Structure 1
Amino acid sequence: MRMLHFGKSIAKTVREQISRHMPGRSMSLFTKSVVALILIGLLPLVIMSMIIYNASLGSLQTVMLSNMYRTTLTIGRNIESLLSEMEEDTKYLYSARSTDYGYIYQLLENDSVSSDKKATEISDMLRNILYMNQYIDHVFLVLPDGEVCSAMHAPERIINESLMLEWHKENYQEDSREMQVHPVHIVDYYMGTRSSDFTVSRNIMNTSTIENASSEILGTLYIDISEEYLDSIINETRLEEGSQIYIVDKSLRQFAYNPYPADDDYDESRLLYYVDDMDSRYQYINADGDYFIYSEVPGTDWLIVERISSYHLRDSYQAIRNMTLLIIGISTAVLVVIYYFYSKKSSQPIRNLADAMESIEQGNLTTRVDIQSNDEIGYLAQGLNSMTENLQSHIRKVYIAEIRQRDAEIEALKTQIQPHYLYNTLDVIRMMAVTHDDRETAEMIDGLSGQLKYLMGSARDMVTLRDEIESVRNYFKIIRIRYENRFSLEINVEDDMMDLRVPQLILQPVVENAVKHGLKEKEGEGVVAIQAQMSGEGLEITVMDNGAGMTKERLEYVRNLLESHETENHPRSKRASIGIKNVYDRIRLIFGDRYHIEISSFEGIGTIVKYRLPVIKADSAGGEKSAEETERNAQGGKNV
């Protein structure tokens, strides 16, 4: 009740702090938001829009020309990207290897290989280049002796070698060691086609020696690229109405690509006339009523030129002006509507928070606020929910602790009754069983007596491992006779570990669970084995059985039970895990979270329980009594 009152006090304090900072609700948050929209949002928006609009009338032309310049840059970068890829593709023959003859220079210098075989091997290398890019139509290599090796997507197509060699002679540059780019042309050297491609070429040098690499040409590689690539990048670009895109080879003073048919209304040669005036320091030139906006393709002599007439540019001004006014009007209307509903909705979470705090103040700690947002209101809601949940948990823990303390006091009163009468009675019964030659009954009573003596003889926190194992042995005396020697106990502990100190009664609950819920449910003989060993700086005790094991669901339940911080009433079917839970809690309470119990189980195979404990030797047990002293005290007054 004190904790509940404390929770109410916190909620009340929070409400008072909010009320103190929000005195006299003369104006709602929603009203303030709408006023703020008008004063801070819409009014400056309208004023700034008008100022910007008036100022931009004089610069619309510059803006549009700049936009078109960026269009040419975009097209140029796309072409540059393809050419960079082709730069690597043209170098492929330097690294390509024939399976049987090595690099291309080794293949060409091998006199034992026939010309047909060389042509076949080289064609295979060229075919690899052919499929490096979807826009590559043909690849061919012209050797110094005039022999041609080629690869194409349609292998049945026939090559007109005379036209191919003629085109090669027109474009061959013997002194060049770099990749060359050739304008769009009709590839009529492939018979049966009238398609247009642009071509990249490179002289392939003999890299067998450094001297040859700079002087000896093995052949010239040509890669024909479909003009569809240029069409695609131009069509993907939004052009101004009335504008046209050309690609011009500045060094050749000719069109590298002209996608438009001949137009009687415009003489395209006028554009070539002004090529020399297209300085890279500027973005456009105005000539004879036309604007030519241009940019260079890096690494080439190509220019991307966009042409637009002056009257088309003026028409675009008018359209942009009208569109600007329309956008300003629509934006203002939409902003008013959106902000109205947003303000109305944003005030709802605050009202929910206030209602929740009022409910908590009245003592309802199950109250939770569901606000799905990542802003400050969402953080406040999460904090309120977390505070309420922690209060509930803390109150529950204090309540359970009080119940446990009361139960412990009752149990302490019970244990004050001396057990000597029970010991004496069991001893008399055992002697009578011996007298009547009932050895099994005598042994069971002896085991039970030993267990009671260990459990009730003296209240101890720490005992020797020897005493703990001896208690398990006494328990197994009864188990062996009860189950007709079906079960056996194996102890594998070194003598030098027997005097180590461990908490009392940590093995008994686990061994009892192994018998009741492992070995009993299994047919045939059962074994419980106890091992102990040093592991790092700790003591590791293992209790294993070859019983029925646990299902994955049951094992998960037991592990979750051990990790939980609460111990509540459980159904009878699940109380078998409570003893292990108590042992787990005692170990962590005595030694800390570093030490604990680990459980592994395999259905139909068995269960393994591992204790991880600190090493406490007999001489480090402080003022604890030895096992012999404790036993002598427990036997005091036994004689009848």
Structure 2
Amino acid sequence: MSYLKKRLVKFNINYMNLSIKNKILIFYVCILSIICLILGGYSYLVASKSLKDEVTSINIKDINQTADSINFLQKDVTDLSTFICLNPLIQSLVTTNESSDEYEKFTKYGLEPLNILLASKDYISFIVIYGDKGSKYYLSKDGSNGLSSYDAVKKSEVYKDAHELKGAPLWVNIGSKNNILISDNRSPKIAMVRTIIDTNTLQESGLMVICINTSFIENLYSQGLKGSDSIALIDNKNNIISSKDTKKYLNDTNINYVFSKLSEVNRYENLNLSGSDLLATSSVIKESNWKLISLTSQVEMFKSLNSIMTMTLTVIGFCLIISFFISIFVSSKLTNPIKQLLASMRRVKSGNFKEKVDYKFNDEIGMLVYQYNDMIDNIQNLINRVYKLQLKEKEAELKALQAQINPHFLYNTLDMIFWKSEKAKQTEISEMVYALSKLFRTTLNNGQDFILVKSEKEFIENYLLLQGKRFRNKLEYSVAIDDDILCYSIPKLIIQPFVENAIIHGTEADSDKSYISVTGSVVEENLVFSIEDNGNGIDDETMNSLLNSNSNNTNHINKQKGYAIGNVNQRLSLYYGENYSLNMESKTGQGTKIMISIPIKDISL
């Protein structure tokens, strides 16, 4: 059992390691083979049973028809004997002495019509009439001759049996040897024997025997049962009267065995005699109560089954061949798109991210191909975003390098100015120098792209401090960012460009006093920053230009003022995709409000 289990496990492993096409091919061929074998086997069994039933039915029909023919022949002889026995000429013959002149004259002229009648029955080969007074008369067609005396006949078993029947017919087999009825018998015969009853006294007055050569009977069943190997006519004592036994199946032992299997109810049976399978059928001849038995070889009888078997195997083979090609077609249809998908993956692996698989159907493979193509598009978009982000970072680093010149020199110079101012008690100058130094440090941020909200807040405060010193009482501002969000990380310099824009479009452009408010808080797991001013506002065209500006735009406004704002929008898009929002609300003469919302979960330290 364990060995079989191991073999099954090994087979399963080998099967699962095959390609999908081969798996489908083997599966379809096995399933269709099983179906074909089942249908073929069932068809063969049904056809063979139908053929056996049909051949058996035909065999039974043939033997019944042959038995009916023999029965009709015997009944005709019986009817003829009745006609002869009741004929006045015969009644006179049997009561006449053989030595009298009347007997000689009677047999010479009186029986001529009777001779003509008997001559018309070609199956009658011999007829004899005995009279109680010693008269006798016979007619022979096959050369048989010689009669025993009536007294000798009366001593035989045949006469005794006929006498007990009191004029009823008795059918007997008189064989090929000489017997009490015919001294010189030339051919085997069956005979109808009956006593003649005097119509006047109703007493027995003689005996009549009418014979039929068995060759005539054999000719009947040879024509009616051509397919039988062995045919036998059996009397009511189970003795073989006549037979045709080409295969030597018939002997006393076999006959008794056959009779034990056949009955009045069961007239056919499958038997095995001498190592051969045979179909035994029988039919009763009602007139004599004899039996006709036929033995037919089943090999010969059902040899057409071989052609059915050959046809069945041919059809199964043809179906298997067709199923093989159908399986190849179906498996190819199923696996070709997968092969295309694998080939496409290899090309993508080599760096071709513009690769697409073309599949027009909406089945599971079609959904897989659709998702694969969508994945390639997402990868390509992601690569483009990362590439653009790297470009922006390189550009920012370049500008930082250009701006910093020599950061240590600038820091040291600013530090020297700060201490000179402190020493000279120039507090305002020292504050401005300190704020400028913090601005430089935050801008460079050691090359990092993200800073804490706390650092961004300090940067805005220092920037507004310097601008406040510049514009003195013309600018008021407030920076109100919640302490809860100071430890979160955000892209650096995403608020300052909008504060700078508020100063450019408000404080510089308007003579009135301007106010700038910067706030920051958490709203539904998003960091929301607001930059609001009371300046002159921005028209829609300028606002769109500021948001969509890039480094290649040569417009004067975009070069000097809008590039930083457009850069913020692009950086936020690269960092957060569609998970951020940047809204500008502005009306001419009513100020401007900018709202920036970015997700916390993507940027928390």
| TM-score of Structure 1 vs Structure 2, range by shorter chain | 0.3 to 0.5
Bigger Rg, which one: 2
User: Could you tell me the TM-score, scaled by structure 2's length?
Assistant: 0.38
User: Could you tell me the TM-score, scaled by structure 1's length?
Assistant: 0.36
